[in-house]
Every structure is written in C-alpha cells, then in structure tokens.
Amino acid sequence: MATGNKPFPKMHPVAGFALGTTSAGIKTPGRKDLVLMQIQPQASVAALFTQNAFCAAPVVVCRQHLSTDVPRYLLVNTGNANAGTGEQGLVDAQRSCQALAERQGVSPQQVLPFSTGVIGEPLPIEKLLAALPAAVDALAEEGWADAADGILTTDTCAKGASLQYQPIGTEPKVVTITGISKGSGMIKPNMATMLGFVATDAQVDSELLHRALRLVTNKSFNRITVDSDTSTNDSIVLVATGASTVVIDESNFEEFVSQLEKVFIELAQAIIRDGEGATKFVSVVVDSAVNSEEALKVAYTVAESPLVKTALAASDANWGRILAAVGRAGVDNLDVSKVSISLNEVLIVERGGRAASYSEAAGAQAMAPEEISISISLNRGNTSETVWTTDLTYEYVRINAEYRT
C-alpha cells in the first residue's frame, strides 16, 4: 500500500563496491533473502546502530568488529532478526563471519553481519552458510536492484537512491553516491533506519566520513516515525571506496554532505511512503520554536498521536486532535494564543482557537490528498524542524497482528 508509486530509480554503480544476492530459504523458500556486499581495500567505513538496549546479536558483533578492523564484507539476511536469541545468537553471527572470512581470505573481524525479520527465533545458520557460495558468485557492482529486493521484510517495494555530482574544482571527475534501505514498520530509528547501506566512490578519511554520517542521519533517518517503535536491529552503513580519486576534505566537505543528505532523505522518505498500511505521506513541520529539541518534541508528539494518525487515515479534518497533541507536548510556558496550525496551507488554528477563515469544507479538501503537510508555528523562536510520518490504518493492525503467521 505504498504511497507515491515512485518507480525504483536508476542506480549508478559505485566503483569498488559490489553486491551479490541469493536465496537461502531462511523464512520463505525461493525468496531473495541473503545479500553480500564486498568493499575494496583502503576504503573507509562508518556505521550507526540502534539505541535499543535489547540490540540484536549482529549489532553486537558489528560494533566489536568495527572497533578492531576496517570491514571488507557486509553480510545481510532477512526473515530472521537474530535478536533476543542470547548467547547462541552471538555464536551464530560470529560463525557466519568466520565462514565467509575463510572463503574470501580475510579476517572474521573484516565481516559485518546484519539481520532483519522476526525477533526471538534462532537464526537458521546452516541455511545461511549453505547459500554463501551463491552470494559470492553473484557479486557485481551493478547488483544494487537485486540487493534492494533482498533486504526487504514487510516492505511492499524496494527502496533506492542514487546521484552523481561534480565537486567544484574536480572537472571532469564526478562523485557517485548510491544507497538502498529497508523498513516499513517498527520505525522510529533514533539513529538510523531498519537497515540502510550507502556507498560513494569519493575518497573520505574515517573521521570525516563518520562526521558526515552523523550529520545526514540526523536530518533524514532520525526524522521519521511510523509507529514510534525502535527496532533491535537498526543499522546504517556508509562506505567511501575512494575509487574516483576525488578527495573530500574540509574545503569541499559541506558540498559533499549536501549531496549525501539528498540520498539519505530520499531513502528515509521512501520508508515512510512504504509504511505498513500507509495511505498518507505526512510532513509535520514545526517552526518558530526556541530550539531544535522543542520543535522536535512538538513534531513527534503530533506525528505519533494515534488519534491524529487515525484521523489522517479517515481524511477527517479533526483539527482538535492536532491542537491537543501540541498542547501536551511538554513545551515550557507555551502561549497557546500565539500558536497557529495549518493543513496543506489551510489555516485551521490561530489565536488559541479555530481560525476565523476556516471551514469544514476547506478542512476536508486539505485532508483528501495522499500527501499532507501539518504546519505548526509556535511563534516563540527561530528554529524549524520537520518529521515525516504516516497515517494509522486497519491494514497496519492486520499486518502486525499476522506478522508471524
């Protein structure tokens, strides 16, 4: 039930980064569910992971491996999260790294494992290991589209973004940035997304790459919510192969981050467009706040309100629910007489109550489109923030009620 119906984009290959996808039959026989990504030597790698205390075994292993070596391989399985699996989960995650490392002639610490799917069930490790040769054989720099399919769970469509740009002063050289993500439910990342993998052929040292990742994640994956639930497995990885020989340093860092942010926002918004059961793509924009924390507090309170989200699902301009959410967001000394609220540019609230120009007909018309913007002006500062969310439908309940059946 994805909104927008955007086709999968053209994916520019990234030199020095190859992807191979196959079926291991982890949950559904014949379905693409195992993705291998190969990174050329001398690349830089940055990653962010879930803040959920019950983080999955592969997240634990990834953090350990990143602290000791630079990754050469990323190994992703779907259909099973390998989360809530105790010591055996850690053993299985390490075993997958060991098996791939032996086959490819690298150290186990140079393999990062990723899993997504059902929580609390043992990883069928033998199926995964048996499929490794096929994943290796499928490695290709053009393998993005298959990989985008291979990392999906309850998603209804693959999610990708890709661009090329020419940094100032590097003519005729161009930089490529390409990425994929997956996620549909259990989405409020607090760091990243369910899973995301982005690669560039720019040459970026580790410190700058980590800085870039934090900056763009904060403006993309850290601004989305479907249901306010943070997964045990959230991970985002950014790889810089250096194959283009275009060096990113302090002189062109801001330009690079600007282009990278475009890819990250497109991937993050694709997750919201494919939110479980979603029929609306909703932007909650809070402006004239005292600071970012205040703006986000209001935006998330509105975006995650079940009453607001169900009104959105019904295209019901029940603006009192939005007003109530703003009021309970916990803003210190909020002067409600200064707050104004609009739906798709239709002013609904001003001076603490219903706008004089508002009509039910105008409200119904504003709520009808697939894309809706809720604009909230606090009129007490100069900061603006945007959060993207979905409506809450019967289909969301059905998908999650039947998730394990």
Q: pLDDT for 359-403, tens place per residue?
A: 999 999 999 999 999 999 999 999 999 999 999 999 988 988 887
The pLDDT of residue 226 is 85
Sign, CA torsion 299/300/304/305 = negative
- What values do phi and psi take at 109, rounded to 5? -70, -10
Decide if 288 contacts 381 (C-beta within 8 A). yes
| Poorest-pLDDT segment among 10-14, 49-53, 183-187, 218-222 | 183-187
Examine the pLDDT at 29 and tell me if it is beyond 80: yes
Start-end of CATH 3.60.70.12 domains in the chain: 17-273
Higher pLDDT, 192 or 57: 57
Locus of tokens 């801001």: 254
The answer to whether the beta carbons of residues 75 and 86 sit under 8 Å apart is no
pLDDT of residue 4: 65
pLDDT value at residue 6: 77
Inter-axis angle of helices 253-273 and 206-218, nearest 10: 40
Q: pLDDT tens, 163-172?
A: 999 999 888 9
What is the C-alpha end-to-end distance of the chain, expressed in Å? 20
CA distances from 72 to 24, 45, 218 (A): 22, 9, 26
In terms of C-beta density within 10 A (0-12 exposed, 13-18 middle, 19 or more buried), how is residue 64 classed? middle
> What pLDDT shows up at residue 275?
85
Q: Is residue 140 within 8 Å of residue 20, measured between CB atoms?
A: yes
Q: Which residues belong to the active site?
A: 193
- The two three-digit tokens of residue 322, written as one number: 């939005």
- What type of residue is 163? L
For residues 160 and 153, what is the distance between their CA atoms, to the nearest angstrom?
15
CATH 3.10.20.340 domain extents, the chain: 281-401
Cα 11 from Cα 13, distance rounded (Å) = 6
pLDDT per position as a tens digit, 264-301:
999 999 999 998 889 999 999 999 999 999 999 999 99
320 C-beta neighbours (distance < 10 Å), count? 13
pLDDT surpassing 80 at residue 405:
no
Looking at residue 1, what is its pLDDT? 53
Give the angle subtended at the CA of 132 by the CAs of 126 and 135, to the nearest 5°: 145
Spatial distance between the Cα atoms of 240 and 177, rounded to a whole number of angstroms: 9
Residue 307 has pLDDT above 70, yes or no: yes
Confidence (pLDDT) at 2: 63
Q: Are 312 and 367 in contact (CB under 8 A)?
A: yes
Confidence of residue 101 (pLDDT cuts 50, 70, 90): very high
Band (pLDDT 50/70/90 cuts) for residue 153 is: confident
The yes-or-no verdict on residue 205 having pLDDT over 60 is yes
Q: According to the model, what pLDDT value does residue 191 have? A: 60
Position 189 pLDDT exceeds 80: no
- Superfamily of structural domain 17-273: L-amino peptidase D-ALA esterase/amidase (3.60.70.12)
- pLDDT for position 293: 96
Q: What would the DSSP string read from start to end of 114-159? A: EEEEESSS---HHHHHHHHHHHHHT-BTTTHHHHHHHT-SS-SS-E
Q: What pLDDT does 127 receive?
A: 98
What tokens were used for 244? Answer: 């283009």
* Alpha helices (H) in 219-252, listed in sequence order: none
CATH class of 281-401: alpha beta
Distance CA 257, CA 221 (A): 15
Cα(88)–Cα(6) distance, rounded to whole angstroms?
41
Residue 108 has pLDDT above 60, yes or no: yes
Question: pLDDT tier at 25 (50, 70, 90 boundaries)?
Answer: very high
Helix orientation angle between 319-327 and 306-313, rounded to the nearest 10 degrees: 160
User: In the prediction, which pLDDT does 8 show?
Assistant: 95
* Percent of the chain surpassing pLDDT 70: 98
The encoded tokens of residue 241 equal 């192969």
What pLDDT, on a 0 to 100 scale, did the predictor assign at position 192?
58
Taking only the tens place, the pLDDT of each residue in 206-259 is 999 999 999 999 999 999 988 888 788 889 999 999 999 999 999 999 999 999
For 308-351, write each residue's pLDDT tens digit. 999 999 999 999 999 999 999 999 999 999 999 999 999 999 99
pLDDT confidence tier of residue 64, bands split at 50, 70 and 90 = very high
